[in-house]
Chain A
Amino acid sequence: MNERVRGSGSPVRAADVALPLAGLAGATGAWWALVAALNVPSYLLPPPDAVAAVIVGNPGMFARNAVATAEKVAIGGSVGVATGFLLAVSISRLPWLRRAVYPYLVTVRVLPKIAIAPLLLIYVGTGTTTAVVFIGLIAFFPMVLSTAAGFERVPTEQRDLLRSVDADPLDAFLRLELPYAVPDLFAGLKQSVTLAVIGAVVAEWLVSDSGLGFLILLGSENVQVDLMLAALAVLVALGLSLYGLVVLAQRRLGWTPAAG
């Protein structure tokens, strides 16, 4: 957990930006040099500029497929995150529900969700719905567990304080319990978003005829490594953008627990 209080961080220094950029440039240069020096045939590993040329040469195709993947992530992710949030709220309010459900939520954590996908093919079919359900499922678990843990952080004496003035329960939830859960809620959301992108790619391998995962599969079948690497690059950009959105939302809405 980040121990920095919001707004009190030091300004970004030039080296903080320059060094990672230098690392990226170095790795790309090494890739390029390796391909040139060893004369690697481009159907096995094309040089970086060839991969960039694939994206630049057909921006519409990559944009379309990025949107297709983003849509699945958005719909499935929202369903999973919303369900996870609601269940976390419910088990924080209802001790009996918590006892009935929580051990299994923790247990299911060890199950690789990908193993459920073939079952979904049978129950939900081979359409986009399956992709959405799968993404929802994979995004659901980190959200419910993190948020439930967040609600646990409300100190007992803090609840007593509000009881001592007979505070309205909805007010208490919105102004005490929810804000206490916010740091954990965002930690869960970050995991959910990351997993949702993974889920989208897996779903596209299984049931889809569009999306970045589908492009990668297509590239694999036709041994078009440049297409695969280009789709991967766009996928990284998509994943980082979604993660960035969560970070931005947290900066606006969240607070970070500080030491002391």
Chain B
Amino acid sequence: MIEIDGVTVTFDDVRAIKDVDLTVEDGEFLTVVGPSGCGKTTLLRTVGGLQEPTTGSVRVNGATTDAARTNAELGYVFQQHTLLPWKSAVENVTFLREMAGKSADREEARRLLREVGLEGFESARPAALSGGMKQRVAIARAIHLGAEILLMDEPFGELDEITRERLGVEIRRLWRAERKTVVFVTHSVPEAVFLADRCVVMESDPGRVIETFEVDLPRPRTDEVYSSDAFQEQVAAIRSVLHENRSEPSTAGPTLTEP
């Protein structure tokens, strides 16, 4: 469980995020969506222990984020694939776990590469893989770490739309199969809706949560969901919330719904 309690982050007198309260339950798939500069990446970094909150606190499974880092409880996936160019796919998968001070298991790494659809590419170096394949390796690496929580910072941000949609279906499947808790940050509203059990909408100046949506779409999420009316309606609802809050930044929008 992740408990974000009154977190404000200030950089040089500029408030990146203001008074964010949020709880992520075990096993939940939570997405955070908002425009550039709304502080969604900063929020994720406070959960990952990469950014100290100016005020407020973040607790991961009841302990500090530093403890969570030390115990390798957080599997990070960045927008950049962050694979080591001199290592093969398998070596990249085992690398993070080794750096966390745990013994890596090459067989398990191979299984995970098969799981993310990279059978036959185990020995390939990143230069030989496409952008989508590199992110698949990065996802396998985060799962191999053994963390229950995956923190994903626009992991599909540099991929084409078709690849994004395919990976969206797969990340939902992996999340169920591997029983993870996921916090997924994106600036794409359709992506945020498709992936979410719950979708947090943020707005900028200052970065804050303006609305939280329970996303009630068929589970498991398949390709058909993308073209369903319910999906389109949910996307439209979030877009209109973002639109309202942009035109009138003084009215802070509907209050945050906390489960």
> What residues of chain A have their CB less than 8 Å away from a CB belonging to chain B?
5, 155, 157-158, 160-168, 171-172, 175-176, 179, 255, 257-260
A5-B125, A179-B86 as given contacts; A163 in contact with B50, CB under 8 Å? yes
Which residues of B sit under 8 angstroms from A158, Cβ to Cβ?
80, 82, 84
Given contacts A161-B78, A164-B49, A167-B99, 4 further A-B contacts (CB under 8 A): A155-B82, A166-B70, A168-B99, A259-B127
| B19 CB to nearest chain A CB (Å) | 25
Contact B99 A165 (CB under 8 A): yes
Most buried by A among B74, B79, B82, B95: B82
Q: Which residue of B lies closest to A176 (CB)?
A: B84
Which residues of A sit under 8 angstroms from B96, Cβ to Cβ?
161, 165
Q: How far is the CA of A163 from the CA of B52 in the complex (A)?
A: 13
Which residues of B sit under 8 angstroms from A176, Cβ to Cβ?
84, 99
Which residues of A sit under 8 angstroms from B195, Cβ to Cβ?
none
| A209 CB to nearest chain B CB (Å) | 47
Per-position binary interface string of chain B over residues 75-104, scored 1 when its CB falls under 8 Å from any chain A CB and 0 otherwise: 010111010111000000001100111000
Q: Name the one of A155, A164, A172, A258 contacting B50, with C-beta atoms under 8 angstroms.
A: A164
Contact B69 A166 (CB under 8 A): yes
Contact A258 B99 (CB under 8 A): no
Task: Answer whether residue B72 sits at the interface, using C-beta atoms and an 8 A cutoff.
Answer: yes
Q: How far is the CA of A125 from the CA of B78 in the complex (A)?
A: 58
Contact A165 B72 (CB under 8 A): yes
A155-B80, A158-B82, A179-B84 as given contacts; A164 in contact with B127, CB under 8 Å? no
Q: How far is the CA of A131 from the CA of B78 in the complex (A)?
A: 51
Contact B50 A168 (CB under 8 A): no
Contact A160 B99 (CB under 8 A): no
Per-position binary interface string of chain B over residues 43-80, scored 1 when its CB falls under 8 Å from any chain A CB and 0 otherwise: 00000111000000000000000100110101010111
Contact A160 B145 (CB under 8 A): no
Contact B82 A258 (CB under 8 A): no
Which residues of A sit under 8 angstroms from B72, Cβ to Cβ?
165-166
Contact A175 B99 (CB under 8 A): yes
Contact B69 A260 (CB under 8 A): no
A165-B99, A255-B86, A258-B85 as given contacts; A160 in contact with B125, CB under 8 Å? no
Which residues of A sit under 8 angstroms from B70, Cβ to Cβ?
166
Contact B80 A163 (CB under 8 A): no
Which residues of B sit under 8 angstroms from A259, Cβ to Cβ?
127
Which residues of B sit under 8 angstroms from A157, Cβ to Cβ?
78-80, 82
Q: How far is the CA of A12 from the CA of B72 in the complex (A)?
A: 47
Contact B69 A163 (CB under 8 A): yes
27 contacts between A and B (CB under 8 A): A5-B127, A155-B80, A157-B78, A157-B79, A158-B80, A161-B76, A163-B50, A164-B48, A164-B50, A164-B69, A164-B76, A165-B74, A165-B96, A165-B99, A165-B100, A166-B66, A166-B70, A167-B100, A168-B99, A171-B99, A172-B99, A175-B95, A179-B86, A255-B86, A258-B85, A258-B125, A259-B127
